[in-house]
A = this chain, B = another copy of it.
Amino acid sequence: MSAISASLDPPPAACVASGSDLTPLELEVIDLFVGATRLIGLPRSLGEIYGFLFISPEPVTLDQLVQRLSISKGSASQGLRALRTIGAVKLSHQPGDRRDHYTAETELKSLVSGFISSQMLPHLETGQTRLGRLRALEESMGSELRPIQRARLEKLVHWHHRARTLAPLAGKFLD
């Protein structure tokens, strides 16, 4: 039954990556972010990657991620791209090094609004379309539609509007 009624998950000392040589600090931080990404419905590997970047004092290359986290090159590449599209990871170029280097975005504001605009806004858009179809149905049904149902549809419209106005603001008030 997934997330629901989880709550009593025991906090077992980090159990990330297999035979790797991550430090206890890295393990603990990664574990924390793995939990966080799962909470917001993102795959585990994103938590691992972000956590590792978060606690790394220096920019990190894809290859380092592969080695330290014991994940495949494919995972690392896809994971980094996903993190970049939500704005949680930044690309930086080290002088004299052809490889891409990555750092964690650690501004809460950016993280939140990046997440919202990449995950929620698209849904709100398609929600717009859906509400349009509902409007049409409402018309076509006339008196078959009970008043309470009409009220519920009204509520949907209201929620949607509320979400569209609030979503872009979230994160604005964080530091």
Give the B-binding residues of A (Cβ under 8 A): 1-9, 11, 13, 24-25, 28-29, 31-32, 35-36, 39-43, 54-55, 57, 78, 82, 85-86, 106, 108, 118-120, 122-123, 125-127, 129-130, 133-134, 137, 141, 145-146, 148-149, 152, 155-156, 159, 162, 174
Contact = CB atoms under 8 A, between A and B. Distances in A.
Contacts of A78: 1
A126 B41 contact: no
Contact of A119 (B39, B155, B156): B39
Given A11-B126, A149-B57, A152-B55, A1 B43 contact: yes
Contacts of A28: 130, 133-134, 137
Contact of A126 (B35, B55, B152, B156): B35
Number of chain copies forming the complex: 2
A152 B164 CA distance: 32
A44 to B, nearest CB: 11
A105 to B, nearest CB: 12
B82 A32 contact: no
